């Protein structure tokens, strides 16, 4: 009952929880920038390193992606929170890929995102010995193939 005194409904509680999770995850970008000022290639590598650490440390994957899968109700208010977060992350990664000199920053950003999301699901399904163990190598290959010809 205490929760419902603070939140109008279970849906409101879910949305607020996801907003808090997304704010914590968004703080990562400021940390990444301050760790590697004026070096977008190091920031991109820092993103890969941080995502690999998440794969190692976070047993259950991304809370927002998990919620998107679980909330099957069309039009659930949490979907708007999840979509806003995921699209913001996509734009930030795309901008980083552009700054790092990717010839197709949108494609590289989407590729890295799919590698991360897929690695999270793969780890849940097959553990550390499945395809997720090659996350960093796959990211490095995608980044290398996206560089402008010299």
- The band of 150, judged by pLDDT with boundaries at 50, 70 and 90, is very low
Q: Model pTM?
A: 0.82
Which residues, 6 or more positions from 136, have their beta carbon under 8 angstroms from its beta carbon? 48, 49, 52
| Residue bearing the bigger pLDDT, 69 or 113 | 113
Section 67-72 average pLDDT = 77
Sketch the domain layout of the chain as residue ranges: 9-145
Among residues 48, 90, 83, 50, the alpha carbon closest in space to that of 67 is found at 83
Q: Does domain 9-145 have CATH number 3.30.2350.10?
A: no
61-74 mean pLDDT: 75
Report pLDDT for 2. 65
pLDDT band at 9 (very low <50, low <70, confident <90, very high): confident
């Amino acid at each position: 009952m205490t929760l419902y005194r603070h939140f109008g409904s279970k849906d409101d509680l879910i949305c607020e929880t996801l907003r808090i999770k997304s704010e914590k995850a968004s703080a990562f970008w400021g940390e990444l920038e301050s760790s590697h000022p004026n070096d977008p290639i190091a920031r991109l590598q820092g993103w890969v390193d941080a995502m690999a650490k998440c794969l190692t440390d976070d047993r259950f994957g991304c809370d927002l992606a998990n919620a998107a899968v679980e909330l099957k109700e069309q039009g659930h208010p949490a979907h708007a929170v999840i979509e806003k977060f995921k699209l913001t992350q996509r734009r930030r990664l795309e901008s980083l890929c552009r700054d790092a000199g990717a010839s197709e920053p949108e494609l590289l950003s989407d590729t890295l995102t799919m590698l991360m999301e897929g690695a999270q699901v793969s780890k849940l399904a097959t553990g550390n010995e499945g395809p997720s163990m090659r996350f960093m190598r796959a990211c490095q290959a995608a980044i290398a193939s996206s560089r402008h010809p010299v």
